């Protein structure tokens, strides 16, 4: 990586404002080439306990800081991220694999959360409640939850960090960040910029680690950690939830998705195809709001499949920094094995392989963009997240059937609908059991909207004016004895 500012590359732990070595190290690899990028120091359970102690000490002063002071530091951080956006995108693309254009977009997306919550920091209003007695006055104030543990994933290693850290800082919480061991460099570069922005020692600790289970367990079980925020798989989210039970922690869980798209005969098919392409193949299909299940009304089923095929054939697969690349690799060989097994199982059960693109010669982590038609609801790739560049299409015959198919999932994060019937769109928006609905649109994620799901897709919301509430406690003040 040829960076304008090579000092953004950090490979040690951030504890109490100091970058320091761990007792061991692990390698970080480029998923497109398999080449080793750098060795990163590993945070142990002992390091995690130190991080908790430092965060507790910093919390006392940080929570008493003025809202304007916190907003000022967040604005500084925002400006530094924008100033270094190209370097950050290079780091992200190299360790995560997504095309550079997508990496650049993610850095701007990440920066938007910092700016948004810098503004929200000054709007943490309480309430005066109409009293129930003449000699009493009732009111509420909002206070920081306390020390926050943030565990973030590899698929959006910048945006998932700022979407958690920015509201936590704005609310007056200190944060212990455990990024994915697959993509720690982006996290540490963002933390370095936060240090330069002026955040006090201890407000942010960063723990890159290969000991994720042990470190996560300590963060969950420590009574000094008051909140856990996690983005990742539903399986791990449930485990963390159980581990947090004994200390009754505040939880924000953004877990798995299995997003359907419902495309009706009266839809604008070219626009629907464009929307499916954007939401299906972003980050090679490795996003929690990716379209996973494509349901198309039978009257336009064949036409839609042909349009989708032509669009998929325009995808260019390759390494992140190669010009013109629109589709990168999967994160590792385990991901390739999983996607391949799902596709093969579907074919064995009767799905039609309509197209499979050419896999690049270099790199074992690439999976070709694949179009499967005539899939059925009982196939495994319709019941779980594919997390790969596979479009699975199934016909339906009625609105009620489409709704029933879409809701047959334990996940409830996002859904998408395409139709020109306004009444139908309202019915669908209300009937779909998800936290977010894209209506004739698949680009639904911005800093201003409440991101989150229902059912087994998690708890709480991130972004928007609601996102900061996840880091605040409401305290009731009852004033008595007043004349």
Q: Domain of residue 264: give its range.
A: 259-446
Global pTM? 0.97
Residues 404 and 426 in one domain: yes
Residue 31, token pair as written in the block? 């998923």
Residues 288 and 244 in one domain: no
Nearest to 271 by CA among 307, 321, 218, 305: 307
Residues 339 and 273 in one domain: yes
Active-site residue, from 106, 254, 385, 456: 254
- Domain CATH number, residue 30: 3.40.605.10
Residues 192 and 118 in one domain: yes
Residues 203 and 340 in one domain: no
Q: Is 288 a catalytic residue?
A: yes
Residues 251 and 381 in one domain: no
- Number of domains within the chain: 2
Q: Is 430 a catalytic residue?
A: no
The β-bridge relationship of strands 390-396 and 370-373 is parallel
Q: Are the C-beta atoms of residues 482 and 136 closer than 8 Å to each other?
A: yes
> For residue 451, is it within any domain?
no
> For residue 108, is it within any domain?
yes
Active-site residue, from 244, 288, 290, 373: 288
Residues 50 and 119 in one domain: yes
Q: Are the C-beta atoms of residues 212 and 236 closer than 8 Å to each other?
A: no
Residues 205 and 343 in one domain: no
> For residue 422, is it within any domain?
yes
What b-and-e string marks burial along 345-362, b requiring 16 or more CB atoms within 10 Å of the CB?
Answer: ebeeeebeebbebeebee
pLDDT tens sequence for the chain (483 residues): 799 999 999 999 999 999 999 999 999 999 999 999 999 999 999 999 999 999 999 999 999 999 999 999 999 999 999 999 999 999 999 999 999 999 999 999 999 999 999 999 999 999 999 999 999 999 999 999 999 999 999 999 999 999 999 999 999 999 999 999 999 999 999 999 999 999 999 999 999 999 999 999 999 999 999 999 999 999 999 999 999 999 999 999 999 999 999 999 999 999 999 999 999 999 999 999 999 999 999 999 999 999 999 999 999 999 999 999 999 999 999 999 999 999 999 999 999 999 998 877 778 999 999 999 999 999 999 999 999 999 999 999 999 999 999 999 999 999 999 999 999 999 999 999 999 999 999 999 999 999 999 999 999 999 999 999 999 999 999 999 998
Residues 382 and 322 in one domain: yes
In whole angstroms, give the CA distance from residue 359 to residue 10: 33
- Domain CATH number, residue 287: 3.40.309.10
Residues 297 and 251 in one domain: no
Residues 280 and 414 in one domain: yes
* The residue to which tokens 């994060």 are assigned: 413
Residues 413 and 463 in one domain: no
């Amino acid at each position: 990586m040829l960076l304008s500012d090579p000092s953004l590359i950090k490979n040690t732990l951030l504890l109490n404002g100091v970058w320091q070595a761990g007792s061991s190290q692990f390698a970080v690899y480029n998923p497109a080439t398999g080449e080793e990028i750098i060795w990163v120091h590993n945070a142990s359970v002992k390091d995690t306990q130190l991080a908790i102690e430092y965060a507790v000490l910093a919390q006392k002063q940080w929570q008493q800081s003025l809202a304007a002071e916190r907003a000022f530091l967040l604005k500084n951080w925002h400006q530094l991220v924008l100033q270094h956006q190209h370097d950050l995108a290079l780091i992200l693309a190299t360790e995560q694999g997504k095309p550079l254009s997508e990496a650049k977009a993610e850095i701007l997306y990440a920066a938007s959360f910092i700016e948004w919550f810098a503004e929200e920091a000054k709007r943490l209003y309480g309430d005066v409640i109409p009293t129930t007695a003449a000699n009493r006055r009732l009111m509420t104030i909002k206070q920081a939850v306390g020390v926050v543990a943030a565990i973030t994933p590899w698929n959006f290693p910048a945006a998932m960090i700022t979407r958690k850290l920015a509201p936590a800082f704005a609310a007056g919480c200190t944060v212990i960040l455990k990024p994915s061991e697959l993509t720690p460099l982006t996290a540490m570069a963002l933390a370095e910029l936060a240090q330069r922005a002026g955040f006090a020692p201890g407000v942010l600790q960063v723990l890159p680690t290969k000991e994720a289970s042990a470190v996560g367990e300590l963060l969950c079980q420590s009574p000094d950690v008051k909140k856990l925020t996690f983005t990742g798989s539903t399986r791990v989210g449930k485990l963390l939830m159980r581990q947090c039970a004994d200390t009754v922690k505040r939880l924000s869980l953004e877990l798995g998705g299995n997003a359907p798209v419902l495309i009706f005969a009266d839809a604008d098919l070219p626009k629907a195809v464009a929307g499916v392409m954007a939401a299906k193949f972003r980050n090679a299909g490795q996003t929690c709001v990716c379209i996973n299940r494509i349901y198309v009304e039978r009257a336009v089923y064949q036409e839609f499949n042909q349009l989708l095929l032509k669009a998929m054939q325009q995808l260019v697969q390759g390494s992140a920094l190669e010009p013109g690349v629109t589709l990168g690799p999967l994160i590792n060989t385990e991901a390739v094995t999983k996607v391949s097994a799902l596709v093969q199982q579907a074919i064995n059960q009767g799905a039609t392989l309509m197209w499979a693109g050419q896999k690049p010669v270099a790199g074992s982590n690439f999976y070709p963009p694949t179009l499967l038609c005539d899939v059925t609801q009982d196939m495994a790739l319709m019941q779980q997240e594919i997390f790969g560049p596979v479009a699975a299409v199934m016909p339906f015959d009625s609105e009620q059937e489409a709704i029933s198919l879409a809701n047959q999932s334990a996940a409830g994060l996002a859904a998408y609908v395409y139709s020109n019937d306004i009444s139908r769109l309202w019915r669908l928006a209300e009937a779909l059991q998800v936290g977010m609905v894209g209506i004739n649109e698949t680009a639904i994620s911005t800093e201003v909207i409440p991101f989150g799901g229902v059912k087994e897709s998690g708890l709480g919301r991130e972004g928007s004016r609601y996102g900061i509430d996840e880091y605040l406690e409401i305290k009731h003040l009852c004033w008595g004895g007043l004349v």
